[in-house]
Amino acid sequence: MFKVGIITASDKGYAHERVDESGKVIKEIVEKNGYSVAKYLVLPDDEAMLSKEMIYMSDEMKVNLILTTGGTGFSERDVTPEATLKVVDKLAPGIVEAIRHYSLSITKRAMLSRAVSGIRNKTLIINLPGSPKAVRESLEYIIDTLQHGLEILQGIASECARK
């Protein structure tokens, strides 16, 4: 069973001015697919706090997957991709490219996403959109393939070639 950390980036959520629905959607989907949620929290749109938590979840908690929601747009306060890029060792651009490609079939606004994905040690980190609807669409689109990627990252599987 893979361990997941969930981080919602939201100033209003952190200040208890808005209920975090997007993080709840992530939790629902990953648990339905057999993952264990090790930690779930809401942080403000603060690059240093987001980076510090990703490092903690990866290095100390040893989670296999960190899913973030929010902070990937054009607002001055949207800094989740920058926080992620500070902590990853390798990029895994195909994941967010696939999400954007799929999302473009639903809305042209998907082109405005600045989300990134990458690997820190043995942890895969993926930025998801901020809205509950977009989170559901995106995560349900990639969840089946994520398992194989995580198996390779953990050394459980060794090849991507299809038989």
Domain containing residue 103:
3-153
Q: 163: helix, coil or strand?
A: coil
| Of 34, 23, 50, 38, the residue nearest 136 (C-alpha) | 23
Look at residue 162 in the predicted model and tell me its pLDDT: 59
- State residue 157's pLDDT score: 75
Q: What is the DSSP letter of 33?
A: T
Cβ contact 42:77 at 8 Å: no
160 found inside a domain: no
Beta bridge partners of 4: 37, 65
Does any domain span residue 42?
A: yes
Answer whether residue 62 is part of any domain.
Answer: yes
Q: How far apart are CA 135 and CA 69, in angstroms?
A: 7
Cα 45 vs. chain centroid, distance in angstroms? 15
Whether residue 18 lies inside any domain: the answer is: yes
Residue 159 lies in a domain: no
Report pLDDT for 27: 98
Which residue is associated with the tokens 């264990």? 36
Backbone angles phi, psi at 93, to 5 degrees: -65, -25
What is the total count of domains within the chain? 1
pLDDT reported for residue 161? 60
Residue 44 lies in a domain: yes
Domain containing residue 63: CATH number: 3.40.980.10
Tens of pLDDT, residue by residue, the chain (163 residues): 899 999 999 999 999 999 999 999 999 999 999 999 999 999 999 999 999 999 999 999 999 999 999 999 999 999 999 999 999 999 999 999 999 999 999 999 999 999 999 999 999 999 999 999 999 999 999 999 999 999 999 999 766 665 5
| 158 falls within a domain | no
- Does any domain span residue 37? yes
